[in-house]
């Protein structure tokens, strides 16, 4: 019996779309092609397509640089790849699933539900729905599967989910959800593969640090808390997102700076974080190069590391200690100086780095004397989505 199938994975963000083709043979997943369409929605430049099979990024002439135009171009480009005719299903990362707790095939009913909850995540859901509908219109026979970022956090304790606002709003879905769940699910599977189930079931802090950044506290395989809450804009500061803010900031901005709700939402999602503090860039690598001569870049880096350090401390309190700290994401995996600054002065928790290993981006970067094992694990959301889609199909 031939159990081989091919999957197309779509990981849609607010300004980029990652994709990957996988061949699935039994329990084995073979990557055939992966890439990213980024710079979507930038008014001054065109979208850029990069793949693992080409050394040179490709600037796309899509006319108006909107998500809709870019998505249309990408779907047509994917259709022309030699891997596409063998695809039996498409897996989508859905950032906000509200009460959805497991991956499932996308039906008209599920699609209608996603449309009703779009106001809860206006930065991601409308674009993700457009991609689903575009594939459905052009390839109605292909199954599509939704994999929800929020599912990993769905069994958090009630005290971690609750918002300190009038109780009547909880019935309308206003509580903490948590995001980056697909990445966290992958990291936990990798941790178990690398170190065994005893380590994976102990007290683990996961730090997914990239343009979007968050942390999660996991014990016995269950997420007990996470830094993001009602929306992906909350928690620690990120590339362009503010993270947590005093609610009075919103009042001030709307009352005295005359920002509309839409303008304020744009401010905290696209103009804040590393970009807002540095006034230069949202890219940590660029800021690292500038910090010696630009105090704004140095202050942005310092604030980022300070906030991550605070969350590690608070999550250690939630867990009652920590056994393993995992760094992941573009920053967490690739920038040793950031890891060093985050872990500095955390010796009281048993966290200490071996700087030689750290500078080489080693798999384990903790020092011999440290009680906590500090790991660097490259995340792979697309592979995790492929695994989840395969489970649904089977």
**In this predicted structure, what is the pLDDT of residue 40?**
87
Task: Please tell me what DSSP assigns to residue 168.
Answer: G
| All residues at 6 or more sequence positions from 85 whose CB lies less than 8 Å from its CB, including other chains | none
**In this predicted structure, what is the pLDDT of residue 99?**
87
| All residues at 6 or more sequence positions from 327 whose CB lies less than 8 Å from its CB, including other chains | 207, 209, 333, 339, 365, 374, 375, 376, 377
Mean pLDDT computed over 59-68? 73
CA distance 350 to 343: 10
| All residues at 6 or more sequence positions from 342 whose CB lies less than 8 Å from its CB, including other chains | 207, 305, 308, 309, 312
106 with 144: CB under 8 angstroms?
yes
CA distance 11 to 304: 26
Q: Which of 329, 326, 308, 337 is nearest to 378 (CA)?
A: 329
**In this predicted structure, what is the pLDDT of residue 63?**
65
**In this predicted structure, what is the pLDDT of residue 3?**
65
Q: Is the pLDDT of residue 62 over 60?
A: no
Three-state SS letters, 146-163: EEECCHHHCCCCHHHHCC
| All residues at 6 or more sequence positions from 180 whose CB lies less than 8 Å from its CB, including other chains | 149, 208, 212, 214, 216, 226, 228
Q: Which domains does the chain have, with CATH numbers?
A: 5-148 (3.30.420.40), 196-376 (3.30.420.40)
For the stretch 184-243, pLDDT in tens is 999 999 999 999 999 999 999 999 999 999 999 999 999 999 999 999 999 999 999 999
Mean pLDDT of the residues in the chain: 94
> Collapsing DSSP states into helix, strand and coil, what is residue 257?
coil
For the stretch 35-55, pLDDT in tens is 999 888 877 678 899 999 876
Task: Please tell me what DSSP assigns to residue 85.
Answer: G
238 with 208: CB under 8 angstroms?
no
Q: Give the active site residues.
A: 149
90 with 142: CB under 8 angstroms?
yes
Q: ∠350-330-24 over CA atoms, to 5°?
A: 105
CA distance 239 to 309: 17
Q: Is the pLDDT of residue 60 over 80?
A: no
Long-range contacts, 365-372 (Cβ 8 Å, 24+):
365/327, 365/339, 366/325, 372/322, 372/323, 372/324, 372/325
Q: pLDDT grade, residue 292 (50/70/90)?
A: very high
Q: Is the pLDDT of residue 381 over 60?
A: yes
Strands (E), 67-221: 87-94, 104-105, 143-148, 203-209, 213-219
**In this predicted structure, what is the pLDDT of residue 45?**
76
**In this predicted structure, what is the pLDDT of residue 13?**
81
Q: Tell which phi-psi region holds residue 52, choosing left (phi > 0), alpha (psi between -120 and 50) or beta.
A: alpha
**In this predicted structure, what is the pLDDT of residue 1?**
46
CA distance 373 to 381: 23
Sheet architecture: strand order including 16-25:
58-59, 48-51, 28-38, 16-25, 5-12, 87-94, 143-148, 104-105
For the stretch 79-127, pLDDT in tens is 999 999 999 999 999 999 998 999 999 999 999 999 999 999 998 999 9
Q: Is the pLDDT of residue 29 over 60?
A: yes
| All residues at 6 or more sequence positions from 127 whose CB lies less than 8 Å from its CB, including other chains | 12, 14, 67, 71
Q: Which of 288, 285, 275, 291 is nearest to 243 (CA)?
A: 275
For the stretch 235-264, pLDDT in tens is 999 999 999 999 999 999 999 999 999 999
**In this predicted structure, what is the pLDDT of residue 86?**
95
């Amino acid at each position: 019996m031939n159990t081989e199938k091919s999957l197309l994975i779509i990981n849609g963000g607010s300004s980029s779309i990652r994709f990957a083709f996988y061949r699935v043979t039994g329990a084995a997943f073979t990557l055939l092609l992966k890439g990213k369409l980024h710079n979507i929605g930038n008014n001054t430049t065109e979208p850029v397509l990069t793949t693992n099979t080409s050394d040179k990024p490709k600037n796309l002439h899509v006319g108006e640089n909107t998500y809709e135009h870019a998505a249309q171009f990408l779907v047509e480009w994917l259709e022309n790849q030699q891997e596409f005719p063998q695809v039996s299903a498409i897996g989508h990362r859905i950032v906000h699933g509200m009460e959805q707790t497991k991956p499932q095939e996308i039906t008209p009913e599920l699609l209608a539900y996603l449309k009703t909850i779009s106001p809860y995540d206006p930065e991601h859901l409308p674009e993700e729905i457009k991609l689903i509908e575009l594939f459905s219109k052009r390839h109605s026979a292909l199954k599509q599967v939704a994999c929800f970022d929020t599912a990993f956090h769905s069994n958090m304790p009630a005290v971690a989910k609750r918002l300190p606002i009038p109780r009547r709003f909880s019935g309308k879905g206003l509580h903490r959800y948590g995001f980056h769940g697909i990445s966290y699910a992958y990291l936990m599977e990798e941790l178990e593969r690398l170190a065994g189930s005893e380590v994976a079931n102990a007290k683990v802090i996961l730090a997914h640090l990239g343009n979007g950044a968050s942390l999660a506290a996991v014990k016995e395989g269950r997420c007990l808390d996470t830094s993001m809450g009602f929306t992906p804009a909350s928690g620690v500061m990120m590339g362009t997102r503010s993270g947590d803010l005093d609610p009075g900031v919103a009042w001030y901005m709307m009352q005295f700076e005359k920002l509309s709700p839409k303008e304020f939402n744009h401010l905290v999602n696209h103009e804040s974080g590393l970009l807002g503090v540095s006034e230069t860039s949202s890219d940590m690598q660029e800021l690292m190069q500038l910090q010696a001569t630009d105090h704004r870049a140095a202050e942005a880096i310092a604030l980022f590391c300070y906030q991550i350090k605070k969350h590690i401390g608070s999550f250690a309190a939630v867990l009652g200690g920590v056994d393993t700290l995992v760094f992941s994401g573009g920053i967490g995996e690739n920038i040793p100086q950031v890891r060093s600054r985050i872990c500095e002065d955390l010796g009281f928790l048993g966290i200490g780095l071996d700087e030689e290993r750290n500078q080489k981006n080693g798999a384990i970067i903790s020092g011999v004397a440290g009680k906590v094992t500090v790991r660097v694990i490259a995340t792979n959301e697309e592979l995790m989505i492929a695994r989840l889609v395969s489970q649904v199909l089977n």
